[in-house]
Amino acid sequence: MLFRSLIISGQLVADGSATDSIYFIANNANANWGGITFTSGATASSVNAQYVYQSGSIFNYCAVRNVTTSNGAIYAVNTGLFIDHSTINQNSSNGIYFGYDGSYTSKFIISNSKIINNTQHGIRFDGYQLGGELRIINNTIQANSLNGITSSDGVVSQTYYIAGNNVLGNGQIGISANCYGTQTDRKST
């Protein structure tokens, strides 16, 4: 089966607005839409000390849906991304899936977004990372067939900050963490 995917080995700046969103969807319900993959050569997002986007790859006011591959509607390996005010829904895959297979120090931020109705996990992250940071803040993560948020295989000095999310109605567990790094979950419901 041939999947048509958007493969990013550089930088993707998808910076929409509340009144003019950017859509990444299959133009045919029967298409084999493979989603968006960020390779280890992709340009990582950069944020300032207040976690405000500065440069690199960004999804701001975007929608990704109808993906039919198993990895993720957005799949990233060894790169940081900034996802804000976006909707990742109705995918036959993980909503967002990212992993690390080496030493990595970038930040991966998902905020103010809706990750809903995906047939696997809403957000899945795993792999070995040294010194990076994951922030999942103020999202709605709902009605995904497996876990809302799931993690595995982290190592010491990896920081996860999960706060202010509404994680509800997922098929198995709301938040499942199997990591060895610093994990903080504040006021996610």
Task: Using pLDDT thresholds of 50, 70 and 90, give the confidence band for residue 181.
Answer: low
Q: Do 42 and 10 touch, CB atoms closer than 8 A? A: yes
Q: What is the pLDDT of residues 158-168, one digit of tens each?
A: 677 889 999 99
Q: Do 88 and 73 touch, CB atoms closer than 8 A? A: yes
Give strand ranges (E) for 72-144. Answer: 74-77, 82-84, 87-89, 96-101, 107-111, 114-116, 123-128, 133-137, 140-142
Q: Do 144 and 172 touch, CB atoms closer than 8 A? A: no
